Structures are given as structure tokens and as C-alpha cells.
């Protein structure tokens, strides 16, 4: 057994040439760097160069660190230099691309190969993906997580700093090697600090070996029709997070825009239709594939991402939720969306008007380009925000969106037409024409809203391709011993983000590669009680172990968002690394007739405050059926006041991160580690070191 592992690793290591002299599909040289890296080989080599750049700035292509750049702004869709005093980059073609981002906000971002977001990697199902990451940041460490990849037999390639690897220090490099599995729409992003929200991410598309027959024929051009959604902030994350935790905001009246000057008006949350809180970081702007429009910038002075189609054809589009904070409700003016996949699994197609995408989730849809005359259409990702007091999306919120252009005319985007469409072309949703919304994070909208979630909740979508019966979890195997409850909330003493009352802190060394032997004192494991009964401080390395006696057996996680101590509630998108779980049940709280949440679910019980794992209220493990159509995902929204039950088979040894994908929540401690099948730990550790030696890491 051990020998088999060593031989496998040895073969991998020996077949992978060294970094030096490697020729890559993609790197940061201009000729290789068009933002789309497609590879159809069995082994695909990519190179990522990570550095800090400034928006609206051009740099010399051969500039060394510290060289000046030149600041530009958009004027009637042309870049105009804002600084006269710098002689560099007079000729834009001599320089790096100028990233206008939201057309307004001058700030730093993380670039991969000088891009925001990073390149779209496209590989075949089952390919070996090799990515050499060079950290050219001045001070910060980084790591890259391959969101949704199962990393079977390679848990140390999962890219979570201090959990699956030592982070890549400034100036350092690291080679990721993993198998592209499963197939579908995935993405990669930094799992160090909040770098992801500053642009350190990109799409990872794994082409299916075959498209299931029941789907209609469609064009699948992932390099052209993948949309990453990101809510964009005025400041880089570091400033932002410092501000959230300070009583005084640092905003001054900068000429770009009027911003609130009174600190206490800065972080007033908005709500979703069920009255649950959204925020607290106020919405600034949104970008799709790195481009968007800050609301105060005119349509003549922006550059939007553009997606080309030809009339008469049907296309596959892929939506990737890369947001830091806000869920988006996505639609395309004058077009229906046929939802066909989520998180890498085809579903029985459903036709909808809107798809809600929270951070970490992916949705694929088909779009029929059926129009003959009109050529420019808006693609909109709107926040779910309404005013908390009225539950109506008032005028103060109506521009809280991220937009892009769908065009039938390759030759040009008509920004004047788009400007007009922005205000007049939006879908009409009312009691006469009710708009269908997929993936609602609550039970439903009220009928008068014109929106309807019925039969389109995530647990109501069904798999198109049934997995073999022997790969399905077995509900009859589920007992108290194989069920874990995780309440995501703000019930710690300091009302910060926790799971079961515990603020997760990173261990001092990487669990996967160094083992947990040295950090026993930092661990908290007993979920039946407060983590430190005698102290207020509940920070710890929160880890639970799925013991080897559950190997190949069904494990159940119950994610909840119970609001027990404060008069507010929150929907959390929860992501588990290393698995695609089956969403067997979603439970909701109770609601008033105005749609607002009345109370949390009564199916679960926890203390007040909830500082430990909840339990089933009646003390009995419910039998929850599963079928071979039950949806599979790796990220799922837990409704405010409700819960989600997910089942999976414990068959992937490793230390897997489980966390809320809202970045400030995750960083404050709404996270924990799953040590799956502990028995393989020592084996994995040795193999890991061996890989390191052989690949020169
Ligand atoms: C590269 O740098 C040199 C000076 O080091 C400069 O003369 C040259 O113009 C630069 N080339 C480009 C393409 O920016
Ligand atoms: C993708 O878009 C580019 C730019 O619009 C276009 O040149 C290319 O032909 C498109 N690819 C396919 C396969 O249609
Ligand atoms: C969208 O779907 C609805 C209901 O199936 C249909 O009535 C409508 O014509 C479709 N609209 C477009 C633009 O295809
Ligand atoms: C919704 O209805 C409940 C019960 O009537 C009321 O207490 C609550 O204030 C209402 N919420 C809003 C936002 O109108
Ligand atoms: C899926 O379940 C149905 C109903 O139980 C069964 O008829 C079918 O054979 C199953 N499919 C597979 C692939 O196991
Ligand atoms: C697995 O073993 C642990 C202790 O080694 C025990 O606490 C747990 O109940 C066992 N689980 C099952 C499902 O038997
Ligand atoms: C839970 O949230 C709802 C909606 O915000 C609120 O009405 C209720 O009072 C909260 N419950 C507690 C115990 O705070
Ligand atoms: Cu959260």
C-alpha cells in the first residue's frame, strides 16, 4: 500500500520537468498573454506571475520593480493620460494593458500575469494541471486554491495557506500539480488573506469528455463566454478590513466622488427581501471579468466586458461567483436563461429569468441568440439589497449592480444604445408577468414583488446524469456519530463571525504537510460545549475529525444560520473543500406575510447565545431520502434562519477547509478544518515531503 503511493508519486514527480526552461501555455510574456489559456494535452503547464499593480495605470513592459507607471482615464472610450509629468508610456502599445476596472476607482489590485482577473485556464477532464506560481509581491505571502477540484490523493495541492501548505512567501514560488476532476465550471483564487477580493482569481474550465444527450445542441466557447462576478471596493481589502474593525472610517472627501464623512453612516447594512442583513460593507461597484461601471461614471467613459453571439445560435455561458460580499441576481435583458449546470454538475434544464449566484457558486446556462434587429443587450448582476425598513429596493440601491454587454454585432459596442437600455431595457417583473428566480436564499418573494422562486431552489434542481448507485451516500448509514452540526453566526462574545461560537484562527504551521501534532494546545474539538467555558475569548484552531471508522461511509453535515442573540440574521454561502456534497434538504425559518423572517427554524436547537453545535430538536436523526437526481454542489447558500443538510461519502483523506465564502466572515473566523480519515495522515505527510524533494519545492 505505502509502496504503491510512493511509486505513484515518484512517477508524477519524474514525469514533470523542472521549472527552469519550461515552456508554458500561458505566462506573462505579451505573446502568450491573451487572457485565455487553452490546453488539450494530458499534462498542461501554466505560469502565474503575481504582483501588485495600480488600476488605470500603464507600465513599461520591461519595467523593473519601482519603475513609474503612467495614469490614464477614459474619455469617450479612449485612454487619456492623467499625468503630464511622466514620459513613460507615451505610446500605449509599448506598455502593459491599462486596467480601467470600474472606470473610476484608482487603487491597487493583485494581478496574475498583469491581468485582473487572471487568465482563464481551459483543460480537459482528467488532465494533469501544472501551475508554477511566482509570488512577486513585495511583502505578502500567497497561495492558490482550485475551487471545486477534489484533489484526490493530492490534498497538499489544495492551496490553503497554513492548512494544506506553507504559503508561498514574497519572492518565492510553488508548483501546483493536480488532476482536473470533476469536469465543469470552476475557478481558482488566492486563499491567503483577502487577496481574492482584490482580483487574485480566475476561471478554471474543465471540458467534459462528452455532453449528455438530452441537452440541446449549443456552442461552448469557454474562453469567450465565461463571466466572473466581483463586487468591487473603493479601497484595497487591507484598508477596508482595518476600517470595518475601527470605530472611525478613514474616508475623506476625495474628489472622485462624495463619500459619507460621518463614520457612523459608513457601515449601515442593507437587507434582502426576507429582512436578513446584507453587508455591512456598503456596495461600491461591480465588475464582470475585471470591467464595470461605477454608478457616477457616464456610459461614454467606460469600458465594459463584451460577449459576442450570432443570431440563430445557442451558446453555453458560465457564471462564476467571485464576490467578496454580495450575492448577485443575474439576468440578460430580453433573453431567457436555460440553467443547465451548477458547480460542475449538469442538471435537468430549467428556463428562468434570474439566477442568484453567491460567492463561490457557479451556474452554467444556455442563451439562445434569437433577436434579429436589436444588437446590444445588457447583462446585469444586481445585488439582492432592499431597504431594511420597507423591504423595497429604493432609488438609493437601484444602481448596485455589475454590468456587461451582450452584442450580436462583433464590430462595435454601441454605448449610446447601451446607456438607453440600462434604464429602459430591464426585465419587467410584476403580477402580470412573474419573473422566475433560481437559487433563492429564502423561501420566496411575496407575490406582489413579481418574483417567484417556486420549484427553483437549489435543492429542487435535479441532476441530469445520475451517478452510479454505489457512489451515492446512504441515508440509512447516518447516525448521531456520523452527523456534524455547524452553526454559522455572530454569537461569539464580540459578535464576530464564528462557527459554533468559535473564531477560527490559522494554525502556526501547515496541518497537511506538517501534521497537527505540534499545535494540540491551539485546537478546539469538543463541540458539545463552549470552546473555553471559563473565558470569553473563543479563538482557536477549530478542527473536527472524521475518524477512520467512517471510511467509505456516509457523513452528514448540517449547516445552519440560526439567529439567537441579536435581532438580525444572515444568509451564508458555505464551501467545503475536497468534495461535492449532495444537498439532501434545505429547511427555512418562518416568515411574516410581508416576506420578512419571523423566526429561525424549530427543527434545530442551540443555546442562547448559540456557542456550541446545534442538535436536532427532537433528538432523533431524521431519515432524509436521497435519489440519484439529488443535486451535487461544493458551495451552498444557507438561508437566514434556516439550515442545509448535505451528505457525502468519507473517501478523500485530507485536511479540508470548510468556511463561509463571504471574505470578511471567513477572515474573522467563520471557518474550520475537517480532518477526514485521520489514519492516512502520516502516509500523506511522507508522500508530501517526497514530492517536495523531487520537484525542487
Ligand atoms: C525597456 O527598457 C529600456 C531601458 O532600460 C528602454 O530604453 C526601452 O525603451 C524599454 N522598452 C520598452 C518596450 O518599454
Ligand atoms: C472568441 O472571441 C474572439 C474575439 O471576439 C473571436 O475572435 C473568436 O473567433 C471567438 N472564438 C470563437 C471560437 O468563436
Ligand atoms: C421566455 O420564456 C417564456 C416562457 O417560457 C416565453 O413566453 C418567452 O417568449 C421567452 N422569451 C424569449 C425572449 O425567448
Ligand atoms: C413585517 O411584518 C411584521 C409583522 O406584521 C412586522 O413586525 C414587521 O415590522 C414588518 N417588516 C417590515 C420591514 O415591514
Ligand atoms: C436512478 O434511480 C432510478 C429510480 O430509482 C433507477 O430506475 C435508475 O436505474 C437509477 N439510475 C442509475 C444510473 O443508477
Ligand atoms: C468512530 O470512533 C470514534 C472514536 O474512535 C467514536 O467516538 C465514534 O463514535 C465512532 N463512530 C462511529 C460511526 O462508530
Ligand atoms: C431573528 O431574526 C428575525 C429577523 O431579523 C428577528 O425578527 C428575530 O427577532 C431574531 N431573533 C432573535 C432571537 O433575535
Ligand atoms: Cu458568511
Instruction: Convert the pLDDT of each residue in 609-645 to its tens digit.
Output: 888 899 999 999 999 999 999 999 999 999 999 999 9
Answer whether residue 251 shows pLDDT above 70: no
> How high is the pLDDT of residue 438?
98
**DSSP structure class, residue 239:** H
Q: Which residues line ligand 5 (CB under 6 A)?
A: 466, 468-469, 628
Higher pLDDT, 281 or 415: 415
Mean pLDDT of 544-571: 89
What value does the mean pLDDT of the chain take? 89
- With 0-12 / 13-18 / 19 or more C-beta atoms within 10 angstroms meaning exposed / middle / buried, residue 689 is middle
Pocket test for ligand 4, best of 596, 598, 599 (most atoms within 8 A of CB): 596
Question: What is the reported pLDDT for 238?
Answer: 85
> Please, are residues 88 and 122 in contact by the beta-carbon 8 Å criterion?
no
Average pLDDT over residues 486-505: 87
pLDDT at 563: 78
User: Are the folds of 2-207 and 469-684 the same?
Assistant: yes
280: pLDDT confidence band, cut at 50, 70 and 90?
Answer: confident
- % of the chain beyond a pLDDT of 90: 71
Side-chain-side CA neighbours of 176 within 13 Å: the count stands at 29
Ligand 7: residue whose CA is nearest its atom 8? 567
Question: What pLDDT is attached to residue 160?
Answer: 97
State the Cα–Cα distance between residues 575 and 195, nearest whole angstrom: 18
Q: Which residue among 30, 31, 58, 60 is best mutated to probe the pocket of ligand 1, counting the most ligand atoms within 8 A of its Cβ? A: 60
Q: Which atom of ligand 1 is nearest to the CA of 88?
A: 14
By the 10 Å C-beta count (0-12 exposed, 13-18 middle, 19+ buried), 203 is classed as buried
How far does residue 202's CA lie from ligand 4's centre (Å)? Answer: 41
Q: What is the DSSP string of 588-628?
A: --EE-TTS-EEE--SSEE--SS--S--EETTSS-------T
Atom 2, ligand 7: residue with shortest CA distance: 568
List the residue whose alpha carbon is closest to atom 4 of ligand 4. Answer: 592
CATH fold group of domain 226-460: Immunoglobulin-like (2.60.40)
212: pLDDT strictly greater than 60 = yes
Ligand approaching nearest to the C-alpha of 352: 3
Cell of 503: 473564531
Ligand 3 neighbours, Cβ below 6 Å, are: 334-336, 351, 370
Task: Indicate the top mutation candidate among 481, 621, 649 to test ligand 6's pocket, ranked by most ligand atoms within 8 A of CB.
Answer: 481
Question: Is the pLDDT confidence value at 590 over 70?
Answer: yes
Q: What is the pLDDT of residue 249?
A: 41
How confident is the model over 445-478, as pLDDT tens digits?
999 999 999 999 999 999 999 999 999 999 999 9
In CATH, the architecture of 469-684 is: Sandwich (2.60)
Task: Determine the distance separating the centroid of ligand 1 and the alpha carbon of 62, expressed in angstroms.
Answer: 6
pLDDT, residue 247, reads 46
SS3 151: coil
Question: Going by C-beta distance under 8 Å and a sequence separation of 6 or more, which residues neighbour residue 618?
Answer: none
- Mean pLDDT, to the nearest integer, of 140-158? 96
Residue 386 has pLDDT above 80, yes or no: yes
Residue nearest atom 3 of ligand 3, based on CA coordinates: 336
Which pLDDT value is given to residue 166?
A: 93
Tell how far the Cα of 36 is from the centroid of ligand 2, in angstroms.
11
Say if residue 192's pLDDT is above 50: yes
How far is the centre of ligand 8, averaged over its atoms, from the C-alpha of 356 (Å)? 16
- Separation between Cα atoms, residue 176 and residue 189, nearest integer Å: 13
Mean pLDDT on 75-103 = 87
What is the pTM for the complete model shown?
A: 0.92
pLDDT at 5: 53
Query: What confidence score (pLDDT) does residue 365 get?
Result: 98
Q: What residue ranges line ligand 6, CB within 6 angstroms?
A: 479, 481-482, 547, 549-550
Provide mean pLDDT across the span 51-60.
92
Please report, in angstroms and rounded to a whole number, the separation of the first and last CA atoms in the chain: 25
Residue-range domain boundaries for the chain: 2-207, 226-460, 469-684
For ligand 7, residues with CB inside 6 Å are 275, 563-564, 566-569, 597
User: In this structure, what C-alpha cell is assigned to residue 596?
Assistant: 420578512
Residues 6+ apart with CB under 8 A from 72: 56, 57, 58, 79, 80, 81, 82, 98, 100
The whole-number pLDDT of residue 693 equals 43
Mean pLDDT of 56-60: 90
Distance from chain centroid for Cα 695:
30
| Residue 94 near ligand 1, beta carbon < 6 Å | yes
Per-residue pLDDT of 107-148, as tens digits, reads 999 999 999 999 999 999 999 999 999 999 989 999 999 999
Nearest CA to ligand 1 atom 10: 62
Q: Can you read off the three cell numbers belonging to residue 440? A: 433563492
Whether pLDDT at 260 is above 80: no
pLDDT attached to residue 537: 65
C-alpha to C-alpha distance for 610 and 163, rounded to whole angstroms: 26
3-state secondary structure of 321: strand
Work out the pLDDT band at 87, boundaries 50, 70, 90: confident
For ligand 2, the distance from its centroid to the CA atom of residue 346, given in whole angstroms, is 25
- How would CATH label the architecture of 2-207? Sandwich (2.60)
Point out the ligand 6 atom lying closest to the alpha carbon of residue 549: 1
Amino acid at each position: 500500500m505505502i509502496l504503491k503511493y510512493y511509486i505513484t508519486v515518484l512517477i508524477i514527480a519524474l514525469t514533470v520537468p523542472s521549472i527552469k526552461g519550461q515552456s508554458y501555455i500561458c505566462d506573462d510574456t505579451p505573446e502568450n498573454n491573451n487572457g485565455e489559456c487553452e490546453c488539450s494535452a494530458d499534462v498542461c503547464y501554466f505560469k502565474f506571475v503575481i504582483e501588485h499593480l495600480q488600476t488605470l495605470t500603464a507600465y513599461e513592459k520591461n519595467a523593473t520593480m519601482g519603475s513609474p507607471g503612467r495614469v490614464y482615464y477614459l474619455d469617450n472610450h479612449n485612454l487619456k493620460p492623467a499625468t503630464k509629468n511622466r514620459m513613460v508610456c507615451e505610446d500605449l502599445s509599448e506598455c502593459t494593458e491599462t486596467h480601467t476596472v470600474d472606470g473610476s476607482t484608482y487603487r491597487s489590485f493583485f494581478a496574475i500575469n498583469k491581468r485582473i482577473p487572471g487568465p482563464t485556464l481551459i483543460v480537459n477532464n482528467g488532465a494533469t494541471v501544472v501551475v508554477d506560481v511566482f509570488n512577486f509581491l513585495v511583502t505578502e505571502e500567497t497561495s492558490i486554491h482550485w475551487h471545486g477540484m477534489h484533489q484526490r490523493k493530492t490534498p497538499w495541492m489544495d492551496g490553503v495557506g497554513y492548512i494544506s501548505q506553507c504559503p508561498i512567501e514574497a519572492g518565492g514560488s510553488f508548483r501546483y500539480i493536480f488532476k482536473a476532476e470533476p469536469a465543469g465550471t470552476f475557478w481558482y483564487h488566492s486563499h491567503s488573506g483577502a487577496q481574492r477580493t482584490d482580483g487574485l482569481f480566475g476561471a478554471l474550465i474543465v471540458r467534459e469528455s462528452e455532453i449528455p444527450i438530452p441537452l440541446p445542441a449549443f456552442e461552448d466557447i469557454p474562453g469567450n463566454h465565461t463571466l466572473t462576478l466581483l463586487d468591487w471596493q473603493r479601497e484595497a481589502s487591507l484598508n477596508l478590513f482595518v476600517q470595518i474593525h475601527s470605530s472611525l472610517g478613514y474616508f475623506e472627501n476625495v474628489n472622485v466622488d462624495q463619500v459619507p464623512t460621518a463614520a457612523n453612516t459608513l457601515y449601515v447594512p442593507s437587507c434582502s427581501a426576507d429582512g436578513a442583513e446584507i453587508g455591512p460593507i456598503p456596495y461600491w461597484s461591480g465588475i464582470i471579468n475585471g470591467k464595470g461601471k461605477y454608478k457616477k461614471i457616464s456610459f461614454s467613459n467606460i469600458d465594459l466586458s463584451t460577449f459576442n453571439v450570432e443570431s440563430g445560435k445557442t451558446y453555453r455561458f458560465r457564471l462564476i461567483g467571485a464576490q467578496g460580499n454580495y450575492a448577485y441576481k443575474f439576468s440578460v435583458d430580453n433573453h431567457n436563461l436555460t440553467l443547465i449546470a451548477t458547480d460542475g454538475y449538469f442538471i435537468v434544464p430549467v428556463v428562468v429569468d434570474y439566477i442568484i449566484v453567491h460567492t463561490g457558486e457557479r451556474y452554467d446556462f444556455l442563451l439562445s441568440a434569437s433577436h434579429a434587429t436589436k444588437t446590444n443587450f445588457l447583462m446585469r448582476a444586481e445585488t439582492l439589497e432592499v431597504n431594511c425598513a420597507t423591504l423595497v429596493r429604493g432609488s438609493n440601491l437601484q444602481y448596485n449592480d455589475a454590468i456587461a454587454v451582450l452584442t450580436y454585432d462583433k464590430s462595435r459596442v454601441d454605448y449610446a444604445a447601451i446607456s438607453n437600455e440600462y434604464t429602459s431595457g430591464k426585465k419587467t417583473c410584476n403580477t402580470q408577468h412573474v419573473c422566475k428566480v433560481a437559487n433563492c436564499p429564502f423561501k420566496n418573494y411575496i407575490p406582489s414583488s413579481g418574483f417567484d422562486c417556486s420549484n427553483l431552489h437549489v435543492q429542487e434542481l435535479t441532476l441530469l446524469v445520475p451517478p452510479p448507485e454505489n457512489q451515492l451516500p446512504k441515508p440509512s448509514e447516518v447516525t448521531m456519530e456520523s452527523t456534524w452540526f455547524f452553526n454559522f453566526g455572530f454569537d461569539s462574545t464580540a459578535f464576530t463571525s464564528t462557527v459554533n461560537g468559535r473564531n477560527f484562527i490559522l494554525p502556526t504551521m501547515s496541518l497537511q504537510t506538517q501534521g497537527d501534532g505540534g499545535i494540540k494546545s491551539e485546537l478546539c474539538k469538543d463541540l458539545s460545549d463552549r470552546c473555553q467555558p471559563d473565558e470569553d475569548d473563543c479563538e482557536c484552531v477549530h478542527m473536527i475529525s472524521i475518524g477512520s471508522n467512517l471510511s467509505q461511509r456516509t457523513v452528514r453535515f448540517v449547516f445552519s444560520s440560526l439567529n439567537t442573540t441579536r435581532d438580525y440574521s444572515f444568509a451564508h454561502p458555505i464551501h467545503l473543500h475536497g468534495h461535492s456534497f449532495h444537498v439532501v434538504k434545505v429547511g427555512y425559518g418562518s416568515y411574516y406575510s410581508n416576506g420578512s423572517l419571523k423566526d429561525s427554524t424549530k427543527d434545530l436547537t442551540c443555546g442562547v447565545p448559540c456557542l456550541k453545535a446545534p442538535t436536532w430538536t427532537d433528538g432523533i436523526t431524521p431519515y432524509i431520502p436521497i435519489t440519484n437526481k439529488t443535486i451535487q454542489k461544493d458551495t451552498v447558500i444557507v438561508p437566514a434562519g434556516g439550515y442545509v443538510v448535505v451528505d457525502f461519502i468519507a473517501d478523500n483523506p485530507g485536511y479540508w477547509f470548510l468556511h463561509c465564502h463571504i471574505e470578511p466572515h471567513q477572515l474573522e473566523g467563520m471557518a474550520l478544518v475537517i480532518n477526514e480519515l485521520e489514519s492516512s495522515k502520516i502516509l500523506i505527510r511522507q508522500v508530501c515531503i517526497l514530492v517536495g524533494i523531487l520537484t525542487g519545492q
